[in-house]
Structure 1
Amino acid sequence: MNNLKTVELNQLFHEFNICTQLQYNGQLTINNLDGKQWTFYYCLGKIVWATGGTHPSRRFRRNVTQFCSQIDIDNLQLFSENTLLDYWDYFSLKKLYQTQKIDSKQVNAIVSSTISELLFDLAQETDFQSLSYDYSEEIILGAIMTSTLANTFLQQTQESCESWLKSGLEGLSPNLAPVIIKPKIIQQKVSADVYKNLENLINGQHTLYDLSVKMKQNVLSVSRSLLPYIEKGIVALVEVPDLPLGKAKIPNNYSSISTKKNSNIPTIACVDDNLQVCQMLETIITANGMKFIKIENTLEALPILIQHQPDLIFLDLIMPGINGYELCANLRRTSVFAKTPIAILTATHDTFDKVRSKVFGVMDFINKPVAKDKVMEVVDKYVIFPQKTANLSNLSYIR
């Protein structure tokens, strides 16, 4: 790779490194002057998903076909609520995993392939100076499975770019579709059966990415094998449209996904890996006419909380993966939760813990075992009930 290209890539990757260093939660959206967009979703500084780029539907269909042979992609039914989202593919993949139609290994393969492909697509931009960067904490997606460090993806992208350029493929996009434009020349060199197979593959309908899956080779090998024919004008590369999504359906038992609350009833959330504590809090909260969300897996906490935007959050102090302090700090970095009341749950009675909690943005503290009066004391302190507000307004009016 030439020095100029290396410098430009390093400048581009600098934006990603900033997100990693800050343990960013949210999305990094990159736009070029032509209106093309790439969005990378971060959770705790790791890239967990990516959308946009060229042919998002083709990419999803291709990855499912490549890594999940048991799935009939042409008859795959997507939830209509999801297809309205920019990250519809993320929720479709998550649903396939939750319904046990695909396993964790397949999920990781699709996530890794999707992120890598979008980074390579972005790295192929010719005018890096014109790119604009937008950070937003409105949408937070969690890692469906084990997430990979962003630096690993960036290193792989740089290596892929170097190999692509060394192979003489500079200026050629794997999103283009090859088509035979001088069939007689090829017919003279191969048998009728071989030509028939080539005609079915190199017909301007399958991109180089698509062909790599069909031929079970990496895209670099496929592109390199076609390069001599492209240079001689025997084969041309053409742009093709994206493919349509799968069939959409609306299940009766599936609520639409929204990042905005649609009810005046207060919502209380609890993040605790202890099921008994969650159940105890749920009993107390629901008995007092409020909604309750229990989250036992800390890695899923941020996306679930951003989806429901609770009025009050109870956090366990000691949890696997991430403790209450760290999770609270991450929530405070997100604009949605900058002022949301957060109370820590803990079995210790250490004064130092209480002082430290305040530093991380905790507003209250409850000791375990959880007592009803203590819980409701915190709830009454921070949560506004519409009914109570209405009654106060009526009293004021009577006066």
Structure 2
Amino acid sequence: MSNPKFIVESNKVFNEFIKCAQIQLNGKLNIKSSQGKQWTFYYRLGQIIWATGGTHPYRRLRRCIAQTCPHIDINNIELDLKNLSRDYWDYQLVENLYRKEVVKQEQLQAIVEKTIAELLFDIAQRVNSEFLSCDRNQEVILEAPISSTSAQMCLKQMQDSWNNWRKAGLANVSPNLAPVLRRPKELQQQVSSSVYNNFVNLINGKHTLWDLAVKMNQSVLPVTRSLIPYINQGITEFLEVPDLPLPVTKVKNSPTVSQGKKSTIPLIACVDDSPQMCKILEQIITANGLKFIAIQDPVQALPILIQNKPDLIFLDLIMPVVNGYEVCSQLRRSSVLSKTPVVILTGSDGLFDQVRSKVFGATEFITKPVVTDKVMEMVNKFTGTKTASTVNHPSNLAVCYS
């Protein structure tokens, strides 16, 4: 039996979509889950013009383009670093393809509809196990949309898809999972050689159920249902997989710490809108013979960090426009910075901040006020340096800046 609380939450979430249409919202609707996931729907006059977020934004974009525009070699598409700092970087990529006449209007519409459908399905599945909160923002983000979709039509299609998924006994199976073959010998005894070869080539833990459906030119429901008998036997298994790394173009004429060959001296970056916090960290880092770069505008953080490739990043959580969680998520989607250690600067030692930061890819935490010993402990730990802390340096005083 469904939990009454979750039924209420489900109604609240989907009623919010209807409300946005009724008031002809110009702006965006943010939906966040208790597990740290976020989805954003962009509106123009009550119509949904784009949606982003979720578990695998780049995988989803590749899928939609591959399915809708088979003439495009998705592997040759690179993303402009200037756009990656925006939440709707995927929209700008698609819009650019349209402006260059690489995709047609009807193909663009199909990409938008498929993207929205996947995200709504994801929300429908999560609303049964997680609490979701909604935040409506009437700031106009996309001034001149090139496509729009009826929210009511999207919700009806989502309800039909989810009901069919649930009736098939798949309520606890996310299409974002990737199947992998665990017992090939047992499978070989049960199926034909052609089916076995398909399993070996496709069921390898690299393709999600959404991905497989596109590759096999089927809907995701029959593809998933066909795998369940092998899942029940332990022949195959579902895995959680990360998003694919974003292919980015190189930044030209961006500010860098140094030109030419990369120095062997570690570079430490700080992303914090507080000039005082950046200054105190700069004093600590440079006093110990290391290089330092401060970034006070979180919107510009990603392209600058990709260009400079720091060895360690200190990141504040509470910043205007783009918060630390969003910046950390952007870093983890970047092929250049996905493995770079990120130390969160938090104003409290609250467990919630730490758990949520871990979900978005944080490596470690420092509680403000910061002190030299703790900062250098992190630097030494993640850069492999053996620098001793400057105990008597003025920056060793505990300082707290928001």
Partner of 1:13: 14
Q: What does residue 123 of structure 2 align with?
A: 122
Corresponding letter in the other structure for 1:19:
C
2:188 partner letter:
Q
Pairwise CA distance, 1:143:
6.4
1:86-123 per-position Cα deviation (integer Å, ceiling 9, x unaligned)? 11000000000000011011100000000110011011
Aligned match of 1:42: 43
Which amino acid in structure 1 is aligned with residue 187 of structure 2? I
Q: Deviations over 1:255-274 (max 9, x none)?
A: xxxxxxxxxxxxxxxxxxxx
* Separation (CA, whole Å) in 1 of partners of 2:40 and 2:147: 20
Alignment partner, residue 156 of structure 2: 155
Gap regions ≥5 residues in structure 1: 253-399
For normalisation by structure 2, the TM-score amounts to: 0.59
Q: Distance in 2 between matches of 1:103 and 1:6?
A: 40
Cα deviation, residue 27, structure 1: 0.9
Q: Percent identity?
A: 53
Alignment partners' CA distance in 2, 1:182 and 1:142: 53
Q: Does 1:104 find its partner at 2:96?
A: no
Which ranges of structure 2 fall in alignment gaps of 5 or more residues?
254-402
Runs of 4 or more consecutive aligned structure 1 residues displaced over 6 Å after TM superposition: none
Describe the SS at the equivalent of 1:90: helix
**Take 2:144 and 2:116, find their aligned partners in 1: how far apart are those partners?**
13
- Cα shift readout 1:310-369 (whole Å, capped 9, x = no counterpart): xxxxxxxxxxxxxxxxxxxxxxxxxxxxxxxxxxxxxxxxxxxxxxxxxxxxxxxxxxxx
Partner of 1:184: 185
Aligned to 1:288: none
| Structure 1 residues 9-56: Cα deviation after superposition (integer angstroms, max 9, x where no partner) | 333211111111111111111111221101111111111111101100
CA contact (8 A) 1:73 1:246 kept: no
Change in Cα spacing, 1:129 to 1:238, as seen in structure 2 (3 Å) is closer
Report the Cα distance in structure 2 between the residues aligned to 1:102 and 1:137, rounded to whole angstroms.
Answer: 30
Deviation at 1:129, TM superposition (A): 6.9
1:217 aligns to 2:213 (yes or no): no
Instruction: Give matches, 1:46-195, under 5 Å.
Output: 46-126=47-127, 130-142=131-143, 144-195=145-196
Counterpart CA distance in 1 for 2:119 and 2:144 is: 17
Q: Within the alignment, does 1:24 sit opposite 2:57 as a pair?
A: no
1:216 maps to a residue whose letter is: N
Counterparts of 1:142 and 1:197, CA distance in 2: 46
1:230 corresponds to: 231
TM-fit CA distance, 1:191 = 3.6
Residues 1:98 and 1:34: Cα distance change in structure 2 (over 3 Å): same
- Per-residue CA deviations over 1:371-396 (Å, capped at 9, x if unaligned) read xxxxxxxxxxxxxxxxxxxxxxxxxx
Q: Deviations over 1:51-94 (max 9, x none)?
A: 10110000001111111111111111222211221110000000
Match of 1:205 in 2: 206
State how far apart, in whole Å, the 2-side matches of 1:129 and 1:212 are: 26
Is the 2:177–2:241 Cα contact (8 Å) retained in structure 1?
A: yes
3-state SS of paired residue (1:78): coil
| SS of match in other structure, 1:134 | strand
TM-score by length of 1: 0.59
Distance in 2 of aligned mates of 1:2 and 1:143: 42
Secondary structure of 1:86's aligned partner: coil
> How many residues of Structure 1 are paired with residues of Structure 2 in the alignment?
252
Distance 1:142 1:235, change over 3 A: farther
Give the alignment of 1:289-308 within 5 angstroms. none
Shift of 1:182: 1.7
Contact 2:186 2:235 in 1 (8 A): yes
Distance 1:20 1:37 in 2: 20
CA distance in 1, matches of 2:9, 2:172: 16
| Structure 2 residue matching 1:138: 3-state secondary structure | coil
Matched position secondary structure for 1:124: helix
- Please list the CA deviations of residues 275-309 of structure 1 after superposition, one character each: whole Å capped at 9, or x if unmatched: xxxxxxxxxxxxxxxxxxxxxxxxxxxxxxxxxxx
Letter in 2 for 1:204: G
- SS of the aligned residue for 2:179 comes to strand
8 Å CA contact 1:77–1:249 kept in 2: the answer is no
